[in-house]
């Protein structure tokens, strides 16, 4: 492991521990604030494809925000892990059954449409004021974004986190993809790219 990878692993561990330490009732309140700020800040047009995620562990619950965006005409999709290196984004339809996807996650089944998002609401472990992020260490989002860019797609990347996940500086590596913005309980922040 390189020094940067070791530092990232340590920051990931520390920020996830801080997120885990948030009491469940406070996490709910912070998630609702995220949804409120996101409803004001995330601009869509009818038919826009927005990828979100269904919360696991202590992640922010953005389902209220996804519901608002759907009511404004967005098509909603969520990541589905296909194998050890690949995720795709399957459409999440109201009342469609969710099936186990591994790692304690659930998602739309194999008959759901696979979509390329215009806007990606992305969970993360840590972020900094420059828009650098630390994910969960699997590289799934980085690879998915790289594949979309190879197809000529450039989705807007919005990190979803709690304020306690911000760090002074993320030790970025050449393959890391910066966020366009981050959405926390304090509001929506754009980054200059």
Mean pLDDT of the region 4-25: 96
Distance from first CA to last CA of the chain, Å, rounded? Answer: 28
How far is Cα 143 from Cα 68, in angstroms, rounded to an integer? 28
Domain coordinates of the chain in residue numbers? 3-190
- Please state, in angstroms and rounded to a whole number, the distance separating the CA atoms of residues 162 and 101: 25
* Cβ–Cβ under 8 Å, residues 157 and 120: yes
CB atoms within 10 A of CB 127: 25
Asked if residues 24 and 133 have their Cβ atoms less than 8 Å apart, the reply is: no
Whether 103 shows a pLDDT value over 80: the answer reads: no
Residues 6+ apart with CB under 8 A from 33: 185, 186
Q: What is the DSSP string of 11-79?
A: HHHHHHHHHHTS-HHHHHHHHHHHHHHHHHH----TT-EEE-----TT----HHHHHHHHHTT-EEEEE
Q: Examine the pLDDT at 39 and tell me if it is beyond 80.
A: yes
- For residues 187 and 146, the answer to whether their CB atoms sit within 8 Å is no
Neighbouring CB atoms inside 10 A of 103's CB total 10
The whole-model pTM stands at 0.95
pLDDT recorded at residue 22: 98
Phi then psi for residue 143, to 5 deg, are: -65, -40
Report whether pLDDT(163) > 90.
Answer: yes
SS3 call for 118: coil
Confidence of residue 40 (pLDDT cuts 50, 70, 90): very high
φ and ψ of 130, to 5 deg = -95, 0
**Would you state the pLDDT for residue 82?**
85
Residue pLDDT, tens place only, 74-83 = 999 999 988 8
Radius of gyration of the chain (CA): 16
CA distance 181 to 84: 28
Q: What is the mean pLDDT of the chain?
A: 94
What topology is assigned to 3-190 in CATH?
A: Rossmann fold (3.40.50)
């Amino acid at each position: 492991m390189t020094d940067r990878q070791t530092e990232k692993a340590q920051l990931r561990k520390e920020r996830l521990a801080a997120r885990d330490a948030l009491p469940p009732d406070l996490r709910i309140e912070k998630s609702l604030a995220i949804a409120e700020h996101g409803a004001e800040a995330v601009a869509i047009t009818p038919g826009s494809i927005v990828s979100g995620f269904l919360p696991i562990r202590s992640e922010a619950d953005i389902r209220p925000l996804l519901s608002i965006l759907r009511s404004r005409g967005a098509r909603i999709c969520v990541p589905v892990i296909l194998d050890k290196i690949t995720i795709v984004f399957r459409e999440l339809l109201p009342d469609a059954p969710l099936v186990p996807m591994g790692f304690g996650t659930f998602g739309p089944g194999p008959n759901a449409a696979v979509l390329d998002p215009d806007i990606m609401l992305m969970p993360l472990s840590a972020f900094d004021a420059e828009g650098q992020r630390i994910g969960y260490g699997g590289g799934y989002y980085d690879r998915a974004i790289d594949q979309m860019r190879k197809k000529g797609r450039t989705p807007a990347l919005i990190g979803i986190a709690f304020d306690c996940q911000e760090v002074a500086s993320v030790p970025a590596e050449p393959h890391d993809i910066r966020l366009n913005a981050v959405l926390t309980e304090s509001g929506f922040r754009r980054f200059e790219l």
